[in-house]
Structure 1
């Protein structure tokens, strides 16, 4: 049986872990996936830039918005945003043109780590002290076989009067 002080400590640790400006990393045997923020805070009326980081292991790849003759693009779904906020479309980096071995098929891939940026519009009248968002990210990672994947990601960012770039990007 848990003591009251242990329950309180556990509650505090769990509640603090949900307030994160850093993304959670989802790892499989083939890929690392993460949702990152360009800044450590949000400003009402400004655009928050996020990025989906996909890092497949050697010989594996992910797909561009149009995978070619095979392949599924990475996507977001089930956004949970504060009222008035909206998520934009992924801004796709230029992919690699990849012939499919042993056939005439062509695919458009990312064979190395890639960041897929996407904008979040913060309402000008947003008045809370923190901005919470969550989404599901779906991807497909392939080598000789393709493996679909999905994970839930969430971020909580404080609200400020001026954007502060995350030091990882400066």
Structure 2
């Protein structure tokens, strides 16, 4: 992997990665404006195993927003997420609130470079891969990086928070 020094495609995520000295590889693809399954679209367009492409979701756990990063091939286990952060109850966050708090639009929410820092949990299946793909901060743009680097730059933890669809 190499560091992308091209500022023309800069997003808050790439700016944060460059500032932290984290190696990553940018991957742009043609986003279909009619698509609503953004993670599956990324996996298909980039010709990747969907288990290696991760979606960024925001959940409300006992009144606090938490970032959950799970494979696009599965779903978020809300109970497991709540447990991972010491909470009791989790529900999906309102999409408009997620956009306001992260600074990104739905379908392009990156776990990196968010406007407001949130507790972050990465599904344990990420450890199966040397690198994974997450949103780069806009639709049609993913970032490839090592799971350990993603955890470091987000101050995240790893836990079993995903389940099969």
> TM class by shorter-chain length?
under 0.3
Greater share of strand: 1
Rg bigger for which structure?
A: 1
Compute the TM-score of the two structures, normalised by the length of structure 2: 0.27
Compute the TM-score of the two structures, normalised by the length of structure 1: 0.26
